[in-house]
Amino acid sequence: MFPVFREEQRMQLRSLPTLEPVRLSQPAPTRFSHFLALIRPTFWLVPIWALLCGVLASGEIPSTLNSFLRIALAVLLVGPILGSAFQLLRSFFERDLDAINFPFKPLPTGTISLDRVVALAAFALIGGLFLAQLLGPVAFGLCAFAVLLNLILDAPPVQLRRNSWISPLACALTTVGLPWILGQSLFASLSVPSLVVPGIFAFGYIGIDLFFALPHIEHDRRVEIRSLVAVFGKEVGIGIASLLIDTALLGATILCLGSKSLVVSGFLLTTLILQIVLQVALFATLGKNEKKTDWHLPIASVLFGVAMMLAAAVSCLAPTIHL
């Protein structure tokens, strides 16, 4: 039986104070979290992956402590050290743009001082070049060239990232091409033919970089950054990015066929077909729901990374081909 309340009991219940819902306070951001927002560790993944592809392409199977130490030092170099330095440089030189588009970032909010950012970037750059010298003259030259490219990208007066839509080419070179060549140079001599595969995938990564830029079209246009997607628009940008990725994967597949690696060629062709399917699906969603396009980039990036490692494996198995 349900309880029956009299009128006096109902009045007493109504007179009871109402309880406000308990709101759990969000923990305040720590200084370490602000620092992570500046160095962006997720941006280390691609250079480290490209470095490991280069190590595999060299044909060296690490079997000694010295080999493992060289690889570990190179990973530390392209990721936490130079990778962090490049992100710090970008945050420093783009702080005026971030104040407009991303005012919540550490530099626009003043949570981390400019002097500290400059000191950290300088320390990382000098330390990175010192460690590169320990790996040999080739590694030092590659790292010095990467530092120069990033300064051209972000530092005035050039600021290629801000003033030209061809900046993805330099980004792809420092993100994929140079780390791959560095990994290969650790255990093998370099030659012009051996640079073909890292060149192909650096070319294809321009397309991945363009896909990364798609969510920032309006931000770029607001501050007059001449990125390719901002200049030509979203649909044309997606078409160019897809063409670059597909061309790179097709080139890698043809090279693998030339080395008679039919199984790997089949896997590479599969990644190409899956990329095309994803691109068609992406074009199909453009006019319907613009917010449901975030799924494409992670899948496309993973497929591209798998193709890189497959091509590196063929280079390892057939070193005389020099893919």
- Give the 3-state DSSP-derived string for 245-309, with helices as H, strands as E and coil as C: HHHHHHHHHHHHHHCCCHHHHHHHHHHHHHHHHHHHHHHHHHCCCHHHHCCHHHHHHHHHHHHHH
Does pLDDT of 265 surpass 50? Answer: yes
Q: What pTM does this model have?
A: 0.85
Q: Report residue 256 as tokens.
A: 């693998």
Q: With beta carbons less than 8 A apart as the criterion, state whether 150 and 43 touch.
A: no
Q: Report residue 203 as tokens.
A: 């070319």
Rounded to a whole number of angstroms, the CA Rg of the chain reads: 25
Q: Report residue 78 as tokens.
A: 């392209």
Distance CA 50, CA 176 (A): 5
pLDDT digits (tens, 9 = 90+) for 151-164: 998 888 888 887 76
For residue 192, the one-letter residue type is V
pLDDT digits (tens, 9 = 90+) for 190-228: 888 789 999 999 999 999 999 988 888 887 888 778 788
Q: Is 30 helix (H, G, I), strand (E, B) or coil?
A: coil
pLDDT digits (tens, 9 = 90+) for 14-69: 555 554 544 444 455 567 788 888 888 999 999 999 999 999 998 887 888 999 99
Q: Report residue 115 as tokens.
A: 């002097």
Cis omega before residue 168 (within 30°)? no
Residue identified by tokens 């991945």 is 208
Residue 160 pLDDT: 83
